[in-house]
Amino acid sequence: MTDLHEIQRQIVARITSAPTGSALKFALMDAADAVSRAIEAEKRAPGPDVEGAAA
């Protein structure tokens, strides 16, 4: 599991405990969405064997 997956897991756990309709819950939902997009981008990113990538 990547660090992003662990972060996403923790955010989702906080969402379930946040009060319904609260600003905190909406902010956490936005954060979870951003992490999901980052996970998808990470999947599409070229691997380390691509020229110019860090070793």
Q: What angle do CA 8, 10, 15 make, to 5 degrees?
A: 90
Residue that has been written with the tokens 């405990």 in this structure: 17
Digit-by-digit pLDDT tens for the chain (55 residues) are 579 999 999 999 999 999 999 999 999 999 999 999 999 998 998 776 555 555 4
How would you write the chain as a 3-class SS string?
CCHHHHHHHHHHHHHHHCCCCCHHHHHHHHHHHHHHHHHHHHHHCCCCCCCCCCC
Q: What ranges do the domains of the chain cover?
A: 3-44
pTM for the model stands at 0.73
